[in-house]
């Protein structure tokens, strides 16, 4: 109160206590670094949390490494993209949440040693990746890349039609060709969603190779065969997978155990009419070996969403030079619906870890050493 003489205003004791509590709460806010603006639907989820002090990369471009390293100091949590190579400086960091299903850009060994939580976004991109995998199989098999290039270069008018010009192997079965064997390297959620999309094409057999240490799941395979009316769903070794598959989908995790698992010896075993599709990680495929296989006709074509060394895939890259190799720039999850779900999950994972709640999708680090 102030007196009529205009003395200095003083706060009552209760008011002073409230201000002290408010100041304490403000000082306890958790600093969170966000490496990309997550858009008008998701940023409000973070902004609505009074416990968070957000530091957001201000540009619509990949976050610069120097900015991330400068701002992560003192942070409790960070939301990163697949392009952000992440280590965990500073003792305050508790959680790394990535807007991706893959997490090879995160130092898991360091995270496990320091007791950090790591969030990721599985499941939500299954359908989008399966859709694109089928698209790549069709594009590669039916010379889609060659056809689009011909039109875009203005050469359609001069293209000489021929009875078998631009022909390629048909994905669907026909009376004259009643058998189709689809192979999967890796047989998780995305592979099984891709299988379901291929059933209307009349495929007859599903072959797959997965972790050699995992025993076959005969009950599940029999159930899938019955569900999709297939002659068989079978786990096979990788040699049989390469020999028998009409289309081979690479949908396995990255890492040292699968590095260049698609190599020259395997490619030489594949059918000359077969198609290879990779929508997982570029490191699984030896680019030079695949380019040679396409150039020399060991296989018919390839459809790639990922390439080793991406995004540094220039016009002189051996696979870019191959007409029968269809390449798109890692866009398998690029649907509006999927990216919105991924961003939301990344935000929810971070909030859950900081608040001490269960994270919707947490990487299991118990076996990381």
Phi, psi torsion values for 301, nearest 5 degrees: -165, 175
Q: How far is CA 194 from the centre of its chain?
A: 15
**Catalytic residue from among 180, 281, 339, 345:** 281
**Catalytic residue from among 180, 330, 339, 345:** 330
Among candidates 259, 326, 263, which has minimal Cα distance to 298? 263
330 is catalytic: yes
Query: How would you classify the pairing of strands 95-98 and 52-56?
Result: unpaired
Report the distance separating Cα 66 and Cα 243, nearest Å: 48
281 is catalytic: yes
Which residue is listed with tokens 């947490």?
A: 362
Burial class from Cβ neighbours inside 10 Å (0-12, 13-18, 19+) for residue 88 reads buried
Among candidates 85, 98, 84, 93, which has minimal Cα distance to 116? 93
26 is catalytic: no
CB neighbour burial string for 163-179, b if at least 16 within 10 angstroms, e if fewer: eeeeebbbbeeeeeeee
Q: What is the DSSP letter of 86?
A: B
Instruction: Tell me the three-class secondary structure of 157-224, residue by residue.
Output: CCCCCCCCCCCCCCCCCCCCCCCCEEEEECCCHHHHHHHHHHHHHCCCEEEEECCCCCCCCHHHHHHH
Catalytic machinery residues: 281, 310, 330
């Amino acid at each position: 109160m102030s007196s009529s003489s205009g003395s200095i205003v003083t706060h009552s004791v209760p008011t002073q206590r409230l201000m002290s509590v408010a100041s304490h709460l403000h000082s306890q806010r958790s600093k969170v670094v966000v490496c990309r603006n997550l858009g008008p639907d998701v940023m409000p989820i973070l902004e609505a949390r009074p416990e968070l002090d957000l530091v957001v990369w201000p540009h619509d471009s990949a976050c610069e490494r120097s900015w991330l390293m400068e701002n992560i100091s003192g942070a409790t949590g960070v939301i990163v993209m697949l392009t952000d190579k992440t280590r965990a400086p500073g003792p305050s960091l508790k959680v790394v949440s990535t807007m991706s299903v893959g997490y090879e850009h995160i130092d898991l060994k360091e995270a496990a040693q320091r007791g950090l939580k790591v969030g990721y976004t599985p499941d939500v991109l299954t359908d989008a990746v399966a859709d694109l995998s089928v698209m790549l199989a069709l594009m590669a098999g039916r010379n889609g890349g060659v056809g689009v290039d011909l039109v875009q270069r203005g050469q359609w008018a001069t293209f000489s039609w021929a009875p078998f010009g631009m022909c390629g192997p048909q994905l669907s079965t026909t009376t004259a060709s009643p058998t189709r064997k689809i192979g999967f390297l890796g047989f998780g959620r995305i592979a099984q969603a891709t299988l379901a999309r291929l059933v209307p094409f009349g495929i007859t057999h599903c072959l797959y190779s997965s972790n050699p240490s995992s025993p076959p799941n005969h009950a599940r395979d029999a159930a899938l065969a019955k569900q999709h009316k297939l002659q068989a769903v079978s786990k096979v070794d990788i040699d049989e997978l390469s020999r028998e598959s009409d289309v081979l989908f690479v949908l396995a995790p990255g890492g040292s155990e699968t590095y260049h698992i698609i190599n020259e010896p395997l490619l030489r075993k594949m059918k000359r009419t077969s198609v290879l599709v990779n929508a997982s990680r570029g490191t699984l495929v030896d680019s030079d070996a695949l380019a040679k296989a396409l150039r020399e006709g060991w296989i018919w074509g390839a459809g790639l969403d990922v390439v080793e060394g991406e995004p540094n895939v220039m016009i002189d890259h051996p696979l870019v030079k191959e007409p029968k190799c269809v390449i798109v720039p890692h866009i398998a999850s690029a649907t509006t619906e999927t990216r919105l779900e991924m961003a939301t999950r990344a935000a929810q994972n971070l909030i859950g870890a900081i608040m001490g709640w269960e994270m919707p999708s947490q990487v299991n680090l118990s076996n990381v050493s």
